Structure 1
Amino acid sequence: MLKFVKHNLETIAGVEIYPIISLSIFFTAFVLFTVWAMTYSKETLNTVSNLPLNDDESLTEKHNF
């Protein structure tokens, strides 16, 4: 089955750029999300992680979650 796909892709001019573009987009998004996660406030993370355990409605109103 792969040879059918390979043959069709070989006949398209300029198709070799698409895997490079998709890898670049994925890698950029991965790095940005990793940086965002590492720089996220520890206080906010603790608050959000404890939300399922708390029955206090004022927490959700205070932080607009």
Structure 2
Amino acid sequence: MKFINYLESISGISVYPMASLLLFTAFFVAASLWALKADKKMVDHISRIPLENDDANPQ
């Protein structure tokens, strides 16, 4: 028996794909709004963090 047949036998299973799509869409919209409204100086600072030389933590 295929896995899809097990899923079809569960009542109310069709709610989960719709809930996950709505959750993903809400997160994507919230992240996009934050990115558009974020302070440009903060975004510039965050983008430079990986390039900064950290003398306190030698590798």
Q: 2:5 aligns with which of 4, 7, 21?
A: 7
Flag the 1:11–1:42 CA change in 2: closer, same or farther, 3 A.
same
Q: 2:37 aligns with which of 15, 34, 39?
A: 39
TM-score by length of 2: 0.73
Flag the 1:54–1:40 CA change in 2: closer, same or farther, 3 A.
farther
**Equivalences, count:** 53
Alignment-mate amino acid for residue 7 of structure 2 = L
Q: Percent of pairs identical after alignment?
A: 32
List runs of 5+ in structure 2 lacking aligned partners: 55-59
**1:6 shift after superposition:** 1.2
RMSD, aligned α-carbons: 1.9
Alignment-mate amino acid for residue 13 of structure 2 = V
**1:43 shift after superposition:** 1.6
Query: Which of the pair has the greater relative contact order for Cα pairs under 8 Å at 6+ separation?
Result: 1
Q: How does 1:19-58 map to 2 (within 5 A)?
A: 19-51=17-49, 52-53=51-52
